[in-house]
Chains A and B, each alone.
Chain A
Amino acid sequence: MTVGDPEGPKGRFRNKLREKDLIVTVELSPPKGTATEEILLHADLLREKVDAFNVTDNQRAIMRMSPLALSHLLKERGLEPILQLTCRDRNRLALQSELLSAYALGIENFCFMTGDHPLLGDHPTGKPVYDCDSVQLISLARGLERGEDFAGRKLSGVPSFVIGAVANPLAEPLEPQLIKLRKKVAAGIEFIQTQPIFDQEPLEKFLEMTSGLNVRFLIGITPLKSARMVEFMNHKILVKPIPMAVAERINKAKDPVREGITIAAELMAKIKSYVSGFHIMPIGLERELPELFEQAGI
């Protein structure tokens, strides 16, 4: 592919999004340190089924290697990254230059989010930035595609991005989040990756409420692996607790990891006919994903 050439051949993720095929993305976290081998190995094992890998950006405000570096390493291996970019650590200059840098390295997919507050992470004494919010960051990126930076200055060489954002079907209350989602769509996103869901019913409600939006939803899936993880997710991550029936199955299982994969696969199999795709957040279960895909019939 000719980098920077808007007419050049585009990636698998972009094509599948536009052709409305079922998409599978998997989240990878850069290392805290410099050891990338294992992460890249995991990605390699998933090459066939996975269309693109989200590379997180100091996720949960925990300092790690930059997603730009890991995205580049994936790209070098012929794998497709989706670079996650938060508004927490960079002002409008740094955000724009990050987008241009990534594009120069052949990275075209991005997922934008506000980013967890530094107080929640491992550097709580750091200064939060939030110069832009997620909606503004989308506009900023779309602006670059028109050949101008935020200040209205002309660019030499114009990028072409595939831009997505995040949403939580289980948000409580949902309406203010839906307003924000509509603004993200209006600002120019093509896909949404959702927070993990654990049952069908609230998802269906959410999809119905957002059916008028011209955007593709990749549904968040996190296989549960232990009773402790259920506890942790309920307390630290999720807005609504994991359904009792699901938690019970994990608690009672002889092999909770297998059970977690089966639960996730059952859900995926049930909903795959009416969603645009899946966004898997494996949290340490990367090696089990081939089994997940097989059980889900993907």
Chain B
Amino acid sequence: MIISQQKLLPDILQSLDGSDVVVIIGCGTCATQCHAGGEEEVQDMKRELEGVGKAVPLSFVLESVCTTQKTKKELTKKSTFIEEADAILVMSCGVGVQTVAELTEKPVFPALDTLFIGSLRRVGHYEELCALCGQCILEYTGGICAINQCSKGLLNGPCGGSKQGKCEIIDDRDCGWYLIYERLKQRGKLYLMEMIHQPQDFSKGQHPQKITLGREMLKKK
């Protein structure tokens, strides 16, 4: 999921300076999981804004703000409130914020910082696991991402800086290649590490990306 974190309140208030009537939109998917933009956080934000004298006539959580068509429908339904607002504060990842900004002419402000895509290890602990490289090689690396877990994104094994399983750049960071080595060894698959991998095709990781996928497209492939 997309890991995000709430901005500091003074920064949010600064961005809303001069906006007296604010609509708040939260997100029911990743931002809820991150305790950054779910029901509870939206209610807290409403109280904070009211506490500094702003009016919040409408605050709600969409199932996933990044689903453009559904979000459009919801915004249309609630258009009377939105018309009245000076600003919309979106408590979702950057994708949700952009989706809303595209659908309304009102000023839209982000309440969260979008950090990375990763997993929820246990309550409050998130870990980045994929760098969105566009050509997944997890099958060779025992399911541990070399691009993301190695500080240099190396494809053919550890650099000389790997020390006792730690990365050369920060003592408390595990060396990604050490983790891969241990995993492959455990699973009897070290032969995968002996294979030489060619440099990545970075043309596949060009941004921004747009793709069209559907039954028709998949059949053609």
Contacts and interface: CB of A to CB of B under 8 A. Distances in A.
> Do they bind each other?
yes
Contacts of B169: 117, 119-120
B80 interface: no
A117 B151 contact: yes
Which of B154, B165, B177: most chain A CB closer than 10 A? Answer: B154
A89 to B, nearest CB: 12
Interface stretch (B45-53, B91-99, B126-134, B193-201): B193-201
B158 interface: yes
Contacts of B164: 172-173, 239
Contact of A114 (B160, B165, B185, B194): B160
A186 B158 CA distance: 16
Contacts of A172: 163-164
Contacts of A117: 151-152, 161, 168-169
Q: Which 8 A-B pairs have the closest CB atoms?
A: A180-B157, A135-B156, A114-B159, A176-B181, A130-B152, A133-B154, A119-B169, A117-B169
Nearest to A118: B169
Contacts, number: 90
Which of B157, B165, B178, B202: most chain A CB closer than 10 A? Answer: B157
Contacts of B114: none
Interface of A: 87, 92, 113-114, 116-117, 119-120, 128, 130-136, 139-140, 150, 166-168, 171-173, 175-177, 179-180, 182-183, 186-187, 195, 239
Interface string B112-151: 0000000000000000000000000000000000000001
30 contacts: A87-B152, A113-B160, A114-B152, A114-B154, A114-B160, A116-B161, A116-B168, A117-B152, A119-B170, A133-B152, A133-B154, A133-B156, A133-B159, A136-B196, A136-B198, A136-B199, A139-B196, A140-B199, A166-B160, A171-B162, A172-B164, A173-B164, A173-B165, A173-B181, A175-B181, A176-B193, A179-B190, A183-B157, A183-B196, A186-B196
A139 B196 CA distance: 10
A179 B168 contact: no
Interface of B: 151-165, 168-170, 177-178, 181, 185, 190, 193-194, 196-199, 202
A128 B162 CA distance: 17
A177 B152 contact: no
